[in-house]
């Protein structure tokens, strides 16, 4: 967790949220009125720690809390709007689930990976064995790539912060592996054609290492809540309200002003402290402090499809070598809506599938 705080502004901005919060004090006051901008997992976790000790208001622009962890109701269950899982190393998240009584609902599954090319999915779940069987690389390429997967966990990722992923791949695996395995399907599809050259090698090394957490039956271990991550959002929301906190949905933060006495006014209401979970530029636009620059935000369009057949051949994460605007990555999820239903990437309303709908999704990428 990185906390960017200013004694002049007395406002905290939480960026790259990884740890869960302990109560904070501002102006040496033990009981504060605190406004939290954003009701996603970060905002809810902060409110959960602070409610009961302080008076907490969460301002959430959407119709429900959850943010990127929100879900859509489908019959008697919920389907997450974006795919989510946790890793065995997510100690703080796992501790929070246990504290909220959700540990028994956590299920660990083995994720499998494959490359889709020329109408065929090549499994790559158990490197380096399946890398050796992968027909689209030379034997020398396979050896160098396999060696990278075996060594990824031994690298000190932080020491590669100033090295680009491009340079690291070229140095460890060579040009052909970079062009055919990493650049088009992974770096370009995830970061775009322009920004992919700025990605740090530290990020790439960390991703390879964390996805090398293999279960006894092969595949990385992925954690899912039996009733979806909506159960985590519901448990946090209920606990916050039981401790006296308030979640205001349909309530975006529209204005933020620093008062002469060091307090803040948000949407016309005075607060002793403000916790922001929105991007820095949005906070500044509201009237907050100018925060250090971070790389530009990028978005992703997620489409959820329920099909009557297994098109991925049992592969959880299928990476396509086709270039955008076509779909470049597909993933399976252990919880799916009833067959014959599809959700668009911007709407929370489910509707019957049709050829016209699918063609529109593919056209818009």
How does strand 113-117 pair with strand 120-123?
Answer: antiparallel
Q: Are residues 56 and 8 in the same domain?
A: yes
Per the CB < 8 A criterion, the answer to whether 275 and 14 are in contact is: yes
- Do 357 and 305 lie in one domain? The reply is yes
| Regions of the chain where pLDDT drops below 70 | 1-30, 126-128, 184-185, 193, 211-219, 293-295, 321-365
Query: For residue 315, is it within any domain?
Result: yes
Whether residue 223 sits in one domain with residue 325: yes
Alpha carbon distances (Å) from 308 to 113, 333, 339: 21, 14, 6
Q: What is the number of structural domains in the chain?
A: 3
CA angle 175–181–182, rounded 5-degree value: 80
Residue 251, domain member (yes or no):
yes
Domain stop point among 210, 240, 275: 210
Regarding pTM above 0.85, the answer is no
Cα separation, 196 vs 186, in Å, equals 9
| Whether residue 224 sits in one domain with residue 204 | no
Domain assignment present for 292: no
- Residues with Cβ within 8 Å of 242's Cβ and at least 6 positions away in sequence, in order, are none
Q: Is residue 21 within 8 Å of 93, Cβ to Cβ?
A: no
Task: Answer yes or no: do 137 and 195 share one domain.
Answer: yes
Q: How far is CA 68 from CA 8, 65, 291, 301, 318, in A?
A: 31, 9, 23, 12, 22
Q: What are phi and psi of 71, to 5 degrees?
A: -135, 165
133-146 pLDDT, tens per residue?
Answer: 888 889 999 899 88
pLDDT for the residue numbered 241: 97
CB environment 58-80: b (16+ within 10 A), e (fewer)? bbbbbebbbbebbbbebeeebbb
The Cα 166–Cα 203 span in angstroms is 12
What phi and psi values does residue 168 have, to the nearest 5 degrees?
Answer: -65, -45
pLDDT of residue 36: 97
Q: Are residues 234 and 223 in the same domain?
A: no
Residues 57 and 18 in one domain: yes
Q: At what angle do helices 201-210 and 165-172 cross, to 10 degrees?
A: 60
Region for residue 82 given its phi and psi (left: phi exceeds 0; alpha: psi -120 to 50; beta: otherwise): beta
CATH at 30? 3.50.50.60
The structure tokens listed for 26 are 């501002």
Residue 355 maps to a domain: yes
Q: Establish if 73 belongs to a structural domain.
A: no
What residues make up the domain containing 277?
2-68+230-286
For residues 223 and 334, membership in a common domain is answered with yes
Long-range contacts of 321-325 (CB under 8 A, 24+ apart): 321/115, 321/116, 321/117, 321/180, 321/184, 321/185, 322/116, 323/184, 323/188, 323/189, 324/188, 324/189, 324/365, 325/363, 325/364, 325/365
Closest C-alpha to 237, from 56, 33, 17, 3: 56
Q: Which of 265, 286, 307 is the last residue of a domain?
A: 286
* Pair (250, 197) in one structural domain: no
Within-domain flag for 121:
no
Q: Are residues 245 and 223 in the same domain?
A: no
Of 255, 286, 317, which residue is a domain's last? 286
What is residue 345's DSSP assignment? S
- Give the contacts of 135 (CB within 8 A, at least 6 positions apart): 122
Task: Please report whether residue 75 resides in a domain.
Answer: no
CB-count exposure of residue 50 (10 Å: 0-12, 13-18, 19+): buried
Name residues whose C-beta falls within 8 Å of residue 216's C-beta, 6 or more positions apart in sequence: none
Q: What's the mean per-residue pLDDT of the chain?
A: 78
Q: With respect to residue 76, please indicate whether it lies within any of the assigned structural domains.
A: no
Same domain, 139 and 253: no
Q: How high is the pLDDT of residue 225?
A: 92
> Does one domain contain both 236 and 265?
yes
pLDDT for the residue 221: 81
d(CA 188, CA 323): 8
């Amino acid at each position: 967790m990185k906390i960017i705080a200013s004694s002049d502004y007395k406002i905290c901005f939480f960026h790259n949220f990884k740890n869960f919060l302990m109560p904070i004090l501002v102006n040496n006051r033990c009981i504060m009125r605190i406004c939290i901008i954003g009701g996603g997992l970060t905002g809810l976790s902060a409110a959960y720690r602070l409610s009961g000790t302080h008076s907490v208001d969460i301002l959430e622009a959407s119709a429900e809390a959850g943010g990127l962890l929100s879900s859509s109701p489908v019959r008697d269950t919920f389907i997450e709007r974006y795919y989510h899982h946790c890793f065995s190393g997510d100690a703080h998240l796992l501790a929070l689930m246990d504290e909220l009584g959700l540990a028994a609902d956590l299920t660990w599954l083995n994720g499998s990976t494959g490359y889709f090319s020329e109408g065929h999915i090549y499994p790559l779940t158990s490197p380096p064995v399946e890398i050796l069987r992968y027909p689209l690389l030379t034997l020398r390429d396979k050896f160098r790539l396999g060696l990278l997967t075996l060594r990824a966990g031994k690298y000190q990722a932080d020491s590669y912060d100033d090295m680009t992923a491009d340079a690291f791949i070229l140095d460890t695996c060579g040009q052909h592996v970079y062009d055919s395995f990493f650049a088009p399907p992974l770096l370009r599809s995830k970061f775009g054609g322009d920004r992919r050259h700025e990605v740090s090698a530290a990020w790439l090394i960390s991703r390879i290492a964390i996805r090398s957490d293999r279960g006894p039956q092969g595949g990385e271990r992925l954690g899912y809540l039996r009733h979806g991550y909506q159960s985590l959002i519901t448990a946090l929301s209920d606990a916050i309200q039981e401790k006296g906190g308030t979640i205001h949905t349909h309530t975006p933060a529209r204005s933020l002003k620093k008062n002469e006495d060091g307090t803040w006014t948000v949407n016309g209401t005075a607060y002793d402290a403000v916790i922001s979970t929105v991007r820095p530029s949005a906070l500044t636009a509201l009237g907050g402090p100018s925060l250090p620059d971070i790389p530009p935000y990028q978005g992703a369009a997620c489409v959820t499809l329920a099909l009557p057949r297994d098109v991925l051949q049992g592969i959880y994460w299928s990476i396509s070598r086709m270039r955008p605007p076509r779909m470049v990555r597909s993933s399976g999820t252990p919880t799916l809506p009833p067959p014959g239903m599809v959700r668009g990437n911007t709407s929370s309303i489910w509707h019957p599938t049709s050829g016209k709908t699918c063609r529109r999704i593919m056209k818009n990428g």
